[in-house]
Amino acid sequence: MADKKKKISISDYSKYMCLISIVLVFGVFSVVIPNFIGAYSLQNMMIEAAPLLLMAGGLSFVIYTGGIDLGAGAMVSCTCVLTGIYVADFGNLIIPIMLAVGLAMGLINGLLVTKLKLPSFIVTLCTTNFWSYVALTLCPNGSEIIPMDKRFMVRWATEKVAGIPIMFIIALMGVALLYVFQQYTVYGKSIFAVGANVSAARLAGVDTDMAQISAFVVSGGCSALAGAFYAYKLKSAVPTVGDALTLTAIASVALGGTSMAGGRGSVLRTMIGVVTITGVTSGLNMMGVDPLWKDIVIGIILIGAVCLNSDTKGRDLIIK
Amino acid sequence: MGELLFEAKGVGKTYGANTVLHDIDMHIYGGEVIGLIGENGAGKSTLMKLISGVEKPSMGEMFLQGKPYSASSILDANHQGIGMVFQEQSLVGNLTIAQNIYLGREKEYATCGFVNWKKMNQDAKKALSRIDMDLDPAKRVRDIDFAARQMVEIAKVLDVVTESANGHAIILLDEPTTVLSDEEIQKLFVQVRNMKEQGNAVIFISHRLDEVLEITDRIYVFKDGEETAVMPTKGADVNLLYEKMVGRATTGEFYVESKQTVPTEEVILEVEDLSLFGAFNHVSFQLRKGEILGLCGVEGSGKEDICAVLVGDAAPTAGKIKIKGKECTFPNPCAARKKGILSVPKERRDEGMIGMMSIEDNIVISHMDALSKHSFLSAKKTRRVAEDWVKKAGVKCFSINERINQLSGGNAQKVIFARALESGCGILILNHPTRGVDVGSKEEIYSLIREMTAAGNSIILLGDTLDECIGLSSRIIVLRDGLIRGSFDCPVGDKPLQLDIVQKMM
Amino acid sequence: MKNKWEESLATLSVGQQFAQKVKDDARKDKIRRYAPLILLIIMTMIGAVSQKDFFTWGNVVNIMYQMSIPLVISVGLTYVLLLGSIDLSIEGVMGFAGSFVAFLVVNNSNSNDFGLLGIIAVVLISTLIGAVTGFIHVKARIATFIVTYAVGSIMTGVAVLVYQGTPIQVKDELFIVLSQGKLLGIPYITIIAFLIFIAGALILNYTAFGRAVYAIGDNETAAASTGINIGLTKIKVFALCGCTAGMAGILQCIRLKLGQSSIGLNQMFPVVTAIVIGGGSLAGGKGGALSAFVGVLIYTELANWLTLMGVDPYVKKVIQGVIIIVAVALTINRTRKTISK
């Protein structure tokens, strides 16, 4: 009985961790930095957070299954480059095209993981090579700027409606869609079931392969949209934009209290995680901390969040 | 008979409210072989776990050579002179025989941390020759055949144990003969007799009564967690053992026999000459609508594997499965569910409950296709379905949003039953449906099973006890060593005797 | 295979069938064990045909030189993969070790001159980082891919922080001697790498610790029941992997005479590929020092050959990815009902 009580208190803690951390981060920074919560700074943060919201939201689904998508960043780079180069030809039609490309990328990952029964981290590491190959060969000179005369096509994304950047509004809508997907569809339920207990889900007749594939497809699609957003935001094709993003996205998911072992979590919590991390990075930036610290800080946040979420008392599962 | 080596007084084991072993007295003398028999769940393996240090007894005392005995781990038990040869092999395949025998004890052979394999191999050779095995100790365990692995395991246990208890070791052999050929069994018996002559005691667990009669000196018979008889092997015969192994039949009402349906003639499932290499061969049977078909057999008889094949968890080597006359194959359990077969798995916690999800989700998870439109689930519908089932199955919970792993075993099992019933599958495979469930919940589960058949579902039942299997089933198939050995009709009022079935099982 | 079984269904009892199955598995395993050697011979033959001076001493030394750093990485990684775990922090630790050692010895950006002491300190710190990684993995029960991924990112960050964005040039005498010196025509770096590898192989094959690693990878429950301290063994393995990653970073720094985080870039993945080609398994329990050596050799010959054919380095990476997927897919045990996540 006592054991049961303890369990509840641990899960309670991780339940509120995302809220505690967001309050803590914004509280501390608003005291230290006078105009941290100012209109300009907030708008900047929103633009900063928008693509990451989508990317981390999609990545959450792979993590719900207990897997991981280490190639999310590379997919962002790849689609960012494609968008930057071809937006001039296709106009804003490029966004649905990129979405399709992303879904296909995710499908490849999903098929490799389920049909060949390979661990997801190795599959996504391998496909990373492919996406970054595409990105780097299309952009051999570092980055490619969207020509000035075509800029009007992409400018809308960073315009503001009632002070809120359109890009951020779209990202929020994306998160809402993801939430519906997670909560009210057969796929969402199956994805959680696979993460919570894959053998039970299998024996209950859940199509576990389909669940895993759909998680990777969602992740791919979201990463692709994020990539397109980066191209719109930076107004250029940058083949290395996603390099550091995988870590940030995983850390956001973990900070939201989603378990790395799978089976529990929510995109809404991921959203709070993203906002917190964006707060941390912009805060450090505004304090004049060397940006070189960013990866270190995010890495430490990731480890800390994962440690708090992990069930150390758990069953005698062998963890490798 | 030698001196008294081991004594157990009133030993028992409970898991929560469940008593699996009750008031066991046991005496083990040096230089004797003790047989331990009983059907599955009779408590043999639990007792072995207590003696070998895997688990601690909940009550009673144990003595080793007159001193109080308790072991915190297998290793600890080994050091005190008790070693167990496990059924599932505890060898490490990628190490050599010698390395396996001395795994965890390399220090004796190390200088400056570097192990002298030569010396270890020589000692391993000696350890193997003690049981007349002539194997190259530098060979990897993965490369030797199964019988040899078993002997290596015995050599390993013997070496660890005799080292600390010269000539007074107690060796537990758990079903050592299941995968051996007759010739290999005889070889094993020679070794058992050898150990005995050296003054050690051997406990021999087997489902094969002829072997028990051949090798042992005394026999302990277990039934439902209790010791029903102790007798010298001389003077015992197979029939006497059968008699002691079966208990009294429970009255019919416990199993709600009044509601037992008379199966119709309509054949729902037909299995033809189904085989899975290494598990079962040439199994054929028919399942009619509204019927409960019981599969009886000891562990390893192949009944579990038949279930695995039927739910799509394993692919058969040969044979056909026909549902309503149409031949089907299932690549995975999802496909089986779509064709109308679903199971209530044996290991509730690991295979049944989706622990981190709510009661509601656990109930609807197998029936989401029907509760959704274009993949979108209707929250209203799922809630109503779940609430209905919670009421119908009598699940005690605060709300359907509670996580299933916060329920007691019996309640969680009812949720999984609700899932099976909700799934709309006509063929349900109940694998030990009352395992680890308290008596109250058992009765409720039995009525649920009766309701299932009344609703026209067909059931394949793997009972937790033989009594349960007879009480619930309308027909029973008995399996032994992967083959069907007999079939019994079980109409109400004319149920077969446990004795008859046990005779076919062992 | 299925047909053969079908035939024996009628004649054998299930027990015998089971024994038969075990035998079949053992035979398949044997074939699998020799496949890398055959592959090595094929690769060598391709090399010999496409390069006319393949078997000259110069080219042999060249290949040995090319494989030296992967070989050092493979030492620690072999242990980690034997456990069935993964260490994604190798690149970060390498980058850190290379940058930090450059920072500590005579260089163009500060007045440090710790020499050999600096090297030892960096190796010790790398070992400590590995130990901490292992500790977090064991105590917090987190899968290694996530812990090591985070640690790797942190170490890359620390590496960049060490040189503040401008790579440090090494001016130390010792480094210059080590990078250019040769013994019997073999570069010092290669000799050091081979010595490290031999030490790693000896520990793996001749100590109780090495056997414990094998045992845990094959059957963790059985290993625990023989009294092996699983947690401690795992921590030691990650410490060792950190140690060799650190040494690899230092060697790379010696080779390039430059300290920057990117010296670790793309170093880990080829070695994982190589070990799997050599017969290791991501699920643990398979492989060993010798098979790692064979794998690295095959891989180096392949890379050598691809360069010779003028293949673009990014395409090379893609080929790597395909190779590892194929190799892992071929070696994975599908008879077990594993579900990968």
Under an 8 A CB cutoff, do B181 and C15 touch?
Answer: yes
C-beta atoms of C214 and B95 within 8 A: yes
Task: Give the pLDDT mean for B473-484.
Answer: 88
B263, pLDDT greater than 80: no
Given a contact cutoff of 8 angstroms between Cβ atoms, the answer to whether C292 and C70 are in contact is no
Chain A nearest C-alpha distance from C159 (Å): 9
Please compute the mean of the pLDDT values over residues B119-123 and round it to a whole number: 90
pLDDT in the model for residue A99: 94
| C149 min Cα distance to partner chain B (Å) | 26
Would you report the helix, strand and coil content of chain A in percent, each value rounded to 5?
75, 5, 20
CB pairs under 8 A between B and C: 120
For A24-53, the pLDDT digits (tens) are 888 888 888 888 888 888 888 999 899 999
Question: Which residues in chain A touch residue C145, judged by CB atoms under 8 angstroms apart?
Answer: 68, 70, 119, 121
Q: Give, for B284, the enclosing helix (H) or strand (E).
A: strand B280-288
What's the length of chain B? 506
Return the top range by mean pLDDT from A57-61, B162-166, B209-213, B236-240.
Answer: A57-61
* Highest averaged pLDDT of the listed ranges A183-187, B21-25, C161-165, C266-270: A183-187
Chain B residue numbers touching A186 (CB-CB < 8 A): 368-369, 372, 375-377
Q: How far is A277 from chain B (nearest CA, A)?
A: 27
* Contact: B181, C14; criterion CB under 8 Å: no
Chain C environment of B485 (Cβ under 8 Å): none
A190 contacts B352? CB cut-off 8 A: no
What Å distances lie between residue B90 and B141, B435, C284, CA to CA?
A: 11, 26, 17
CB contact under 8 A, B354 and A208: no
Query: Which member of A119, A130, A202 has the closest CB to residue C318?
Result: A130
Backbone phi, then psi, for A107, in 5-degree steps?
-60, -40
CB-based contacts of B35: which residues, under 8 Å, 6+ apart? B204, B205, B206, B212, B213, B215, B216, B218, B219, B220, B233
How far does CA B145 lie from the centroid of its chain?
Answer: 24
Count the Cβ atoms, other than its own, within 10 Å of residue A26.
17
pLDDT digits (tens, 9 = 90+) for B334-364: 999 988 999 998 888 888 888 888 999 999 9
Q: How many domains does chain C have?
A: 1
Q: Which of residues 305-334 of C touch A (CB under 8 A)?
A: 312, 314-315, 317-318, 320-322, 324-325, 328-329, 332, 334
Contact B354 A205 (CB under 8 A): no
Return the H-helix or E-strand segment holding C274.
helix C268-277
pLDDT > 90: percent of chain A = 42
CA distance B112 to chain C (A): 9
Q: Which of A96-105, C76-85, C311-320 has the lowest mean pLDDT?
A: C311-320
pLDDT of residue A3: 39
Q: Return the minimum-mean-pLDDT range out of B55-64, B347-356, B492-501, C83-92.
A: B492-501
The beta-strand segments (E) located in chain A are 144-145, 160-161, 164-165, 236-237
Please tell me if residue A119 touches chain C, with a CB cutoff of 8 Å: yes
A-B contacts at Cβ under 8 angstroms: 92
Contact partners of B by the rule of 3+ C-beta pairs under 8 A? Answer: A, C
A208-235 tens-digit pLDDT: 999 999 999 999 999 999 999 999 888 8
pLDDT at C68: 93
Whether C339 maps to a domain, the answer reads no
Rounded to two decimals, what is the model's pTM?
A: 0.88
Q: How far is CA C294 from CA C274, C280, C288, C298, in A?
A: 8, 11, 10, 6
CB neighbour list of residue C28: distance below 8 Å, 6 or more residues apart: none
Whether the pLDDT of residue C38 is over 60: the answer is yes
**Residue A59 · residue A67 · CB < 8 Å:** no
CB contact under 8 A, C150 and A198: no
Which residue in chain B has the smallest CA separation from A11?
B356
> At B310, is the secondary structure helix, strand, or coil?
helix
Nearest chain B alpha carbon to C222: B90
CA distance A78 to C84: 31
Instruction: Name all chains with 3 or more CB-CB pairs below 8 Å to chain A.
Output: B, C
- Contact map slice: C 190-229 vs A, CB within 8 A: 220-221
Can you say how many angstroms the Cα of residue C132 is from the centroid of all Cα atoms in its chain?
19
Whole-angstrom distance, CA of residue A32 vs CA of residue C197: 52
Is C23 close to B94, i.e. CB distance below 8 A?
A: no
ipTM: 0.86
Chain-wide mean pLDDT for chain B? 85
Question: CATH number for the domain including C155?
Answer: 1.10.3470
Q: Pairing between strand B292-296 and B458-462?
A: parallel
Q: Which of B26-35, B183-192, C292-301, C306-315 is predicted least confidently?
A: C306-315
Amino acid at C48: A
Residue of chain A with shortest Cα separation from C234? A320
Q: What pLDDT is recorded for position C336?
A: 46
Average pLDDT of the segment spanning A67-81 = 93
Minimal Cβ distance to B351: which of A185, A199, A207 = A199
Q: Which positions in chain A touch C318 (Cβ < 8 Å)?
A: 129-130, 133
Residues from chain A that touch B364, judged by Cβ atoms under 8 A, are 189
Q: Is C19 on the interface with B (CB under 8 A)?
A: yes
pLDDT of residue B187: 83
Taking CA–CA distances from C85, the nearest residue in chain A reads A320
Q: Which chain A residue shows the shortest CA-CA distance from C162?
A: A292
Residue C1, in any domain of the structure = no
Provide the residue range defining the domain that includes C186: 37-331
CB < 8 Å to A311, chain C? 141
On whether the CB atoms of residues B295 and B477 are closer than 8 A, the answer is yes
Judged by CB atoms closer than 8 Å, whether chains meet at B106 and C208 is answered as yes
Output the six-digit token pair for B75.
């290793």
The residue with greater pLDDT, B493 or C134, is C134
Average pLDDT over residues C154-175: 88
CB contact under 8 A, A318 and C338: no
Contact in structure between B486 and B478 (CB atoms under 8 Å): yes
- CATH (one of 1.10.40, 1.10.3470, 2.40.160, 1.10.12) for A32-309: 1.10.3470
Q: Inter-chain contact A199–C147, Cβ cutoff 8 Å?
A: no
Least confident of B160-164, B220-224, C17-21, C27-31: B160-164
**What is the model's pLDDT at position B214?**
87
Determine the pLDDT at residue A227: 93
What pLDDT, on the 0 to 100 scale, is given for residue B1?
Answer: 57
Contact in structure between B17 and B438 (CB atoms under 8 Å): yes
Residue range C68-84: mean pLDDT, rounded: 94
- The distance from CA A188 to its chain's CA centroid, rounded to whole angstroms, is 17
Q: Is the CB of residue C88 less than 8 Å from the CB of residue C268?
A: yes
Q: What's the pLDDT at A41?
A: 87
**Is A304 touching C (CB cutoff 8 A)?**
no
Compute the average pLDDT of residues B367-381: 85
User: How many residue pairs bridge chain A and chain C with CB atoms within 8 Å of each other?
Assistant: 154
Which own/partner pairs from A16-19 qualify as long-range (CB within 8 Å, at least 24 positions apart)? A17/A255, A17/A257, A17/A305, A17/A308, A17/A309, A18/A255, A18/A256, A18/A257, A18/A269, A18/A272, A18/A273, A18/A276, A19/A272
pLDDT digit string (tens) for A5-14?
444 445 556 6
Query: For B332, phi and psi rounded to 5 degrees?
Result: -155, 165
- Smallest CA-to-CA distance from B170 within B90, B50, B282, B286 is with B50
Q: How far is CA C335 from the centre of its chain?
A: 27
* Inter-chain touch C18–B146, beta carbons under 8 Å: yes
- Give the integer Cα–Cα distance in Å for C249 and C189: 12
C contact test, residue of A70, A112, A126 with most C CBs within 10 A: A126
Chosen for mutation from C6, C14, C221, C335 (greatest number of chain B CBs closer than 10 Å) is C14
Q: Are A114 and C336 in contact (CB under 8 A)?
A: no
Q: Is C83 on the interface with A (CB under 8 A)?
A: yes
Distance (Å, rounded) from C-alpha B90 to C-alpha B83?
Answer: 12
By the CB < 8 Å criterion, does C20 face chain B? yes
Assess if residue C8 is contained within a domain: no
Q: Which of B104, B146, B282 sits opposite C228 (nearest CB)?
A: B104
Check CB contact of B365 with chain A, cutoff 8 Å. Answer: yes
- In this model, does residue A121 exceed pLDDT 90? no
For the segment B367-382, the average pLDDT, to the nearest whole number, is: 85
Q: Which helix (H) or strand (E) holds A12?
A: helix A2-32
Q: Which domains does chain B have, with CATH numbers?
A: 4-245 (3.40.50.300), 250-340+426-435+456-506 (3.40.50.300)
- Taking a C-beta distance cutoff of 8 angstroms, is the pair B20, B46 a contact? yes
How many residues can be counted in chain C?
341
Tell if the CB–CB gap between A295 and C153 is shorter than 8 Å: yes
Q: Which residues of B touch A205 (CB under 8 A)?
A: 333-334, 336-338, 342, 366, 423, 425
Determine contact, residues C95/C155, Cβ cutoff 8 Å.
yes
Q: Residues of B with CB below 8 A from A3's CB? A: none
- C-alpha triplet A219, B377, B415: angle, nearest 5°: 105
Of B99, B179, B275, the CB nearest to C9: B275
pLDDT, position C106? 85
Structure tokens at C219: 């059957």
Query: Per-residue confidence at B500, pLDDT binned at 50, 70, 90?
Result: confident
Give the three-state DSSP class for B271: strand
Closest chain B residue to A4, measured at CA: B406
Mean pLDDT across chain A: 86
Burial of A141 (0-12, 13-18, 19+ CB in 10 A): exposed
Query: How far is the C-alpha of B159 from the C-alpha of B104, rounded, in Å?
Result: 13
Q: Do C218 and B92 touch (CB under 8 A)?
A: yes
- Specify the pLDDT at position C340: 45
Q: Could you identify the residue written with the tokens 């900047």?
A: A44
